[in-house]
Chain A
Amino acid sequence: AQSVTQLDSHVSVSEGTPVLLRCNYSSSYSPSLFWYVQHPNKGLQLLLKYTSAATLVKGINGFEAEFKKSETSFHLTKPSAHMSDAAEYFCVVSAAYGGSQGNLIFGKGTKLSVKP
């Protein structure tokens, strides 16, 4: 079975300091992994995706994530937070190999606050 755990429900950083949002996954197969961002009352926007190519994945807005199979982790990082990064972030894992498309598993989200 597949599952995803976002280890922090809320992270607060100061503007200009690094961001780390933690995600652990469980998957019986080589997973696809995604990070999405959601601003208030908006839909989800794809930040980056991992699909078994490079383990360090670069996304939009300066975010990146590293796939670590030994630790079953896919943490999201950014070297320097900006006020506009304040939002909720979702880690997402794909389900079983093959089969239907309806098998994305969403984490419960991490709300990022950025202090001036």
Chain B
Amino acid sequence: DGGITQSPKYLFRKEGQNVTLSCEQNLNHDAMYWYRQDPGQGLRLIYYSQIVNDFQKGDIAEGYSVSREKKESFPLTVTSAQKNPTAFYLCASSTIGFGTGFRQPQHFGDGTRLSIL
């Protein structure tokens, strides 16, 4: 079955440590996204990528970094500069609907819950 795989499901970060969240998709989607979800706040966009080796900052990129070396993979690093990293992180992917002005629906992984030790 095609889908998005996020790992690990749970992750703990020590003070001053960088941690990397994995996201892999086999849907052959061009676009991939990272969101942060906090209770009562909906989803906020961290980074997104429409093509390999290119990505753009979302609304809350500070303290995070990404790479897109392969179409299938879009890992997110939570750096020590992110002072409040405890949250549920969701990765998503979509096709790109050029020319219509309408957004394609995004497909989501099952998330990674990050906590501070």
Contact = CB atoms under 8 A, between A and B. Distances in A.
B90 A108 contact: no
B64 interface: no
Contacts of A43: 4, 6, 90, 92, 108-111
B94 interface: yes
Interface in B63-111: 88, 90, 92, 94, 96, 100-111
Interface residues of A, number: 29
A43 B50 CA distance: 21
Nearest to B59: A102
B94 A101 contact: yes
Nearest to A48: B105
A32 B103 CA distance: 6
- In terms of DSSP, what is the predominant structure of the interface of chain A? loop
Contacts of A52: 102
A42 B110 contact: yes
- Give the bracket for the number of chain B residues in contact with chain A: 20 to 34
Contacts of B88: 41
B111 A108 contact: no
Contacts of B31: 101
Nearest to A47: B105
Contacts of B56: 100, 102
Interface in A18-63: 29-30, 32, 34, 36, 41-46, 49, 51-52
12 contacts: A36-B108, A41-B110, A43-B6, A44-B92, A46-B105, A46-B107, A49-B105, A90-B42, A102-B45, A104-B106, A109-B40, A109-B42
